[in-house]
Structure 1
């Protein structure tokens, strides 16, 4: 299981690229991967290209880049550019985002999200693998005039943010795995892993990667940490796809799936994620400076436990 930390650089940081480089240095020194989300400020792939060029040896990933605002040909070129800049260290996590974002912010239709994802992958994956595609679908009609090619770049692994059964089916049949966020361990074990694994097996594909994203804090005051998590991550109560997973888990909200407690409690909870099928972790570390430092020590120790070549 690969242990990763989630980049936490907000829009108000005066030197966001410098801060990201510092986080990448922290990840490298502790044997961790570095993940970054595409939000409404920094472009994640551009930032990772710069950061990965500055800091060698750190596995990098997006969790995730929304598909709707980026044509798959443009995303393929961008992802291959990151690969060339970083020595092929990128895992490309992509996802649909949410209806409210796609329709109200981007002004696009979210009418057929499963079809959109399938067609998107049917264009993106050949472009990453061969640089060429000739595709005629309902949403995309794409024919390359010249190959999408970047010297020295290998196709990155592609993970899909998939939660529901249909989306997990597409991810298992077509992609390298799934990138999860705010999904608790019972749901991962009973729903996510068996659904995507069966889809991959039925398609004759390798066992899929399952990247689990959950907030984590080593603390002497778990109740206060959960209150903080409830405030920080309250939006995920309102987004239908995440709310459905929280309901499936049988919990009230994000605070209930946050991994909090002392060192032994947190380490045991993270090891359990590996036991139930997580192949890697994407962990936003939250809390006070002291709690963040304690949490990073736990993640460092867990990374050191991994077999050589798997962390």
Structure 2
């Protein structure tokens, strides 16, 4: 299991230059990848920031985890991703997802057939990314377009998928899935077997399975879990995550945290790797600067060992 950094917790606390500085430090520390999420109404464009980061990062993979699909036409998103890839030397991983109904409602968007949307989105996005041409006619999404130019290496596409139908669509069209708030039990018993079986049936390569979870090395684990719950419990209200929380058998987001001493966190990460996960996007946090330094030191050591 490769170890990267998910820097989404820095949203609202820094700008493009700050993210670039943070990403350079992550590359120097040995992390394999660097991920940013995009909140649909947050006034933040992840691909633009990754383009800025890519001017300073040499080889560490850069990725979105994730860009919501509904606000952007897939041909437009493909063009932006191709442009970003052409502007950077690192590999770009374009993680997309349908986000959440409550968030889309803030934009006046409603869709009662999300799986149809996802299939039609990928019917446009994937040909445009992979070949530079698309001619697709769907019920809600269509495109006839040709890319004016394409980089020699094109971005990889992953799909945020939790339910069985979405996982099967991800397996058929994309390189894999990009997860948040999925614990080891859910990944091992649901995500990995469902998407792997679907990819095999579709004649596709073994899927990439990327997951972001909070991590903290600390001497005060209970306090850290309480703080994590306080800051993130709103995710428990989102229906798509609620199903995953039920599968995992947890009642608070704090229970997802990989929190404890160096030895305890290392053991938790080993258990996570044993689920079949290919990539871990560490969401670092801490109660103080000492916690943050210890967390980064442990993750850096493990990332270098996994490289």
TM-score past 0.5 threshold:
yes
Deviations 1:196-236 (A, max 9, x none): 00000000001100001101101111100100110111111
Match of 1:171 in 2: 170
1:80–1:149 CA contact under 8 A, matched in 2: no
Higher strand share: 2
Aligned to 1:297: 297
Cα deviation, residue 120, structure 1: 0.3
Alignment of 1:205-284 (within 5 A): 205-284=204-283
Show the 5 A alignment for 1:74-153. 74-102=76-104, 104-144=105-145, 147-153=146-152
Please state whether the residue corresponding to 1:210 is helix, strand or coil.
strand
Give 1:55's match in structure 2, choosing from 54, 57, 64.
57
Instruction: Say if 1:80 and 1:153, in contact at 8 Å, map to a contact too.
Output: no
Q: How many aligned residue pairs are there?
A: 302
**What are the Cα deviations for residues 41-93 of structure 1, in whole angstroms up to 9, with x where unaligned?**
32100000011112222211110000000100110011111111112511110
For residue 271 of structure 1, report the CA deviation from its aligned partner.
Answer: 1.9
Given that 1:77 and 1:149 are in contact with CA atoms closer than 8 Å, whether structure 2 keeps it comes out as no
Superposition TM-score, scaled by structure 1 size: 0.94
Query: Does structure 1 retain, via aligned residues, the 8 Å contact 2:62–2:90?
Result: no
Distance apart, 1:149 and its partner CA:
4.1
Aligned-residue offset at 1:189: 0.4
Task: For structure 1, list consecutive stretches of 5 or more residues without a partner in the other structure.
Answer: none
Contact between 2:171 and 2:196, CA under 8 Å: does it hold in 1?
yes
TM-score w.r.t. structure 2 length? 0.95
Q: Cα offset for 1:31?
A: 1.1
Q: CA RMSD in A?
A: 1.2
1:13-65 C-alpha deviation (Å, 9 max, x unpaired): 3xx11210111111111111211001213210000001111222221111000
CA contact (8 A) 1:80 1:154 kept: no
Runs of 4+, deviation exceeding 4 Å: none
**Do 1:45 and 1:62's aligned partners in 2 also have CA atoms closer than 8 Å?**
yes
Query: CA separation in 2, counterparts of 1:98 and 1:44?
Result: 18
SS in 1 for 2:205: coil
Taking the aligned partners of 2:57 and 2:142, their CA distance within structure 1 comes to 38
